[in-house]
Amino acid sequence: MSNELKSAEDRKKTAVYPGSFDPATYGHLDIITRSAKIFDKLIVAVISNPNKKPLFSISERVKILKDTVKEKNVEILSFDGLLVNFMKKKNAKIIVRGLRAVSDFEYEFQMALTNRKLHPEIETVFLTPSEKWTYISSTLVKEIASLGGNVRCFVPPIAEQMLKTKKRNSHRGHREHSEKKNKEFITL
């Protein structure tokens, strides 16, 4: 690549929107659409939160996003490890996070300052989703789906379908487990 092209490439504003996206909701997609309009390039990074036990594997979460996000300047990737290391690898200095309500603030503030301490060149910018998504979370969506509720208005069709499959498989698993237990009991 020529030096001129290289510096044009360097000047491009690349932002990273990290999250566990377990699964991505219309609230996340709202932030992606807004960010894609602001930055030259947006990388949506599916990253493990070590404090959470996910329902979907990383590749399932990436599939939901890849199937849904249509913006040309958005790339969906996954990463295992420290967010700042991923940022360095991608030569990106902007983290995008969504702020839904005051309750998000403390956690986000702590993460932004910690990431800055780990990599001083990094800035975190906060975007607010449309007010119609400020109350939803992936946990609530999973709870509704596991209890047989309709989540169509919260998640894209592929996520709705995959939540249904997870529920069917967990029922089958429970049934097989109790049949096995009953057999063990009868043979005792």
Amino acid 78 reads S
Instruction: Check: CB of residue 24 under 8 Å from CB of residue 64.
Output: yes
The correct pick among 21, 44, 62, 87 for binding ligand COA (CB under 6 A) is 21
The correct pick among 139, 169, 178, 182 for binding ligand COA (CB under 6 A) is 139
Concerning whether 2 is annotated as a catalytic residue, the answer is: no
Minimal distance, residue 136 CB to ligand COA, in Å: 5
Among 6, 52, 66, 70, the one annotated catalytic: 52
- String marking each residue 52-91 x if it binds ligand COA according to CB under 6 A: x-----------------------------xx--------
Residues that bind ligand COA (CB under 6 A): 18-22, 25, 27-28, 31, 47, 49, 52, 82-83, 98, 100, 111, 114-115, 129, 133, 136-139
